[in-house]
Structure 1
Amino acid sequence: MTRIVGIYNADGSILGELNFAIGKVTGKSDCGLCDLTHGWNPFGKPSWRNACSASNIEIELVHRDELTSEQNEVAGDLPAVITLLDGAWRKLMSAEEISCLKGNGSGFLAEIERLVSEL
């Protein structure tokens, strides 16, 4: 199975989440992956949970402060989706591509599935 990692444009600590929320309200922070998976709901959007249940894709979601240096280098601007292929990380989706699918968890996972099938 291909390892797929979605990377939030936010830190994983409570302070990091609080800083992101303040930035979101003031328009200084943006994370299309956050919007897609949980928005303001700390338990995740029901639409995201339903999309994951219906999909064959397994995606690991991490915060930017949880990345290895290699993952961070490949990801570039965040959020991003990366995959481990033949021992090397590759970018699957950019921040812009993720933002285009805001609110559409099923479409996001279908796009990842399509991209992985082309590797």
Structure 2
Amino acid sequence: MSEKQVTLIGVYKANGGVVGELSYFFGHLVGVRSCSLCDVTHSPVMKKAKFKDLEKRLKAELGITFKLVHMNERNAEELKASSGREPCVLLRYDDGGISMLLDYVELKAIDGSVESFEKLLRSRLDFYL
């Protein structure tokens, strides 16, 4: 892989904060809200251990940091790159450029599997880097 320094930015299809988190939790519980990235990163109450391990491996092996943000926590560049396409994973280069790495269709197909997410992510990183 290239020596480019990159950051992965996972954008949830949910708002952060107490109200946003509760709204998503109860909406998900009754089936009116969903976020396929949430399904990959979290169990119903906390971040999945397998996802935490993936974050550590990406950092140790590739020097890549994985940042997770809610829709209302995006900066202007992240908003421009992802608005209307949530959930998704963005790739930010050290020069500030941002590319869509994984879109909502691909995340939905993963069906919450951290292992499938990692395989797709690594294959896509090989392509982009």
| TM-score (norm: length of structure 2) | 0.79
The 3-state SS of whatever aligns with 2:65 is coil
Checking the alignment, whether the CA contact within 8 Å between 1:51 and 1:106 is kept in structure 2 is: no
Question: 2:55 — aligned with what?
Answer: 52
Correspondent of 1:80 among 84, 88, 112: 88
Following the alignment from structure 1 to structure 2, what is the Cα–Cα distance between the partners of residues 72 and 66? 9
Equivalent residue letter for 1:47: K
Partner of 1:17, secondary structure, is helix
Matched, 1:91 2:91: no
Matched-pair identity in %: 26
Compute the displacement of 1:96 (Å).
1.4
Q: Deviation of residue 27 (structure 1)?
A: 1.8
> 5+ residue gaps in structure 1?
none
Alignment partner of 1:38 out of 38, 42, 55: 42
Question: Runs (4+) of structure 1 moved beyond 6 Å?
Answer: none
Q: Which amino acid aligns with 2:53?
A: N
* Equivalence for 2:68: 61
The structure whose residues are more often helix, as a share, is 2
Contact 1:32 1:79 in 2 (8 A): yes
Partner Cα distance (2:119, 2:40) in 1: 14
TM-score (norm 1): 0.85
Q: Which runs of 5+ in 2 are unaligned?
A: none
Counterpart CA distance in 2 for 1:51 and 1:91 is: 20
